[in-house]
Amino acid sequence: MGVGNSSLRHRHKKSAPLRVGLISLGCPKNVVDAERMLGRFFEGGYELTSDPDDADLLVVNTCGFKADAEAESREAILEMAAIKQRHPGKRLVVTGCLAQRYGERLREEIPAIDVLAGTTGQDQLLTLLKSPTPAMPVADFVTASEHGPRLLTTQPHTAYLKIAEGCSNPCTFCIIPKLRGPFRSRPLEEIVAEAKALAAGGVRELIVVSQDTTLYGRDLQPRLDLVDLLKALETVQGVRWIRLLYLYPTLITNALLDCMAGSDKILSYFDLPLQHAHDGVLRRMKRVERETDLVDLVARIRARMPDAVLRSVFIVGFPGESEEEFICLRDFIVATRFDHVGIFTYSDEPEAEAFHLSDKISDELAQARRAELMALQQSISREKLAALVGKVMPVLVDGLSENHDQAVVGRTYGQAPDVDGVTFLQGRHALKPGAIFPVEITGSSEYDLRGRVKKNIMQDSFSKK
């Protein structure tokens, strides 16, 4: 269970407060939503706990845009429902995409749920919990208030900064617009104010997220763009790294590339959700780009930033994906040699437009294609990481690893938290989490690096690269 900032959890109260435990599933945007909920609960007098048996209020912030995410969310709800049954008096709240997707039907299927709030109703939870017959605010897509406290569930030196809500892209495989509404940018001043507050709290790495980050500002009056926002974020004192996620390829302009290349804070890290490379599949997906556009984009990025790290995700098994179309994708991955690649099998969601396409691909064939591409990417990743051995790179220290005998771990600019590998730091140095040190890379594996801190170089003299 996410518990937020533990330093806030044990503040003395005059009377015994109610305790809340929260599970958050899914993407970084959901993480931000959960952190805001925790902040509102704490402001409302709740204490936070990581033990669901100890909680008076159980909250599950769900993901539900495809089958495996829905299954994970339902399992978490049922686990909390079982705890509620063992401890009468507890209340169960379900928020997020699954609640938005199914609404009251979800409560009919799982009667233990006391309160449902969708993707935009979280700021009404405290009011709903006081009502004997709580309503279910899942109908309208209004941008929730971004003001008030936010309790980080990430490392205290790293935070996600959500700059917009919703999505307006017509991708036929995706139901996110139905779950989160159309794309809505946050005001620039509001985002910068939040970034300053996060930096004042010790955040050194801002990870900019939305459903379509490159679209930022184009719906605002006056009209802005992502470059405007980035230039404003660069002025925030205390922030050392700015990492961008979810950069749709259409709006990666030369101006944006120039801004990133010339910045001391914006990392040369590109998270590009390309989905496929064959024109026919892209057309059926209702994606705007074509293979030549994608090849040109990769070339433009690497021409301006030879050290750029590229990540993407692709879908195999999309309806009608022929052997020729799959081979095109495979050849594209070989040619572009992305640093990080995620491969997903197509999920046939009834609310998505692609559900009505014919010529569905069997799960067995889709899984086989996924396995082939994952093995291919593993070899590419191994080669690319091996080429870094002997180089000195800045590494942001995260702290002790829970899974590798308490080894100290950190991340280079090419390693985003949770989705990429890590860098294991050799030696017994007193490395403070959140500090950035120059590290000589001494070894590598398929996904991770090993390195030795260069003690003779001052950390403050070391830039992002």
Q: With pLDDT > 70 as the criterion, what percentage of the chain qualifies?
A: 89
Cβ(50)–Cβ(84) under 8 Å?
A: no
Q: What is the pLDDT of residue 401?
A: 75
pLDDT in tens, 1-11: 543 333 333 33
Strand partners, 207: 160, 243
User: How sure is the predictor about 399, in pLDDT bands with cuts at 50, 70 and 90?
Assistant: confident
Cβ(56)–Cβ(20) under 8 Å?
A: yes
Q: What is the pLDDT of residue 44?
A: 86
pLDDT in tens, 253-312: 999 999 999 999 999 999 999 999 999 999 999 999 999 999 999 999 999 999 999 999
CA 239, CA 191: separation in Å to the nearest integer?
14
pLDDT in tens, 406-429: 688 999 999 999 999 999 998 656
CA 427, CA 79: separation in Å to the nearest integer?
41
Q: What is the pLDDT of residue 314?
A: 98
Q: What is the pLDDT of residue 73?
A: 95
Q: What is the pLDDT of residue 118?
A: 82
Q: What is the pLDDT of residue 405?
A: 65
Q: Which domains does the chain have, with CATH numbers?
A: 6-129 (3.40.50.12160), 158-386 (3.80.30.20), 392-461 (2.40.50.140)
Cβ(269)–Cβ(412) under 8 Å?
A: no
Q: Is the dihedral of CA 34, 36, 41, 45 positive or negative?
A: positive
* Least reliable range by pLDDT among 39-48, 171-180, 260-269: 39-48
Count Cβ neighbours within 10 Å for each residue of 282-293 and write b for 16 or more, e otherwise: bebbebebebeb
What DSSP character marks residue 238? T
pLDDT in tens, 298-348: 999 999 999 999 999 999 999 999 999 999 999 999 999 999 999 999 999
Count Cβ neighbours within 10 Å for each residue of 209-246 and write b for 16 or more, e otherwise: bbbbbbbbbeebeeebbbbbbbeebeebeebbbbbbbb
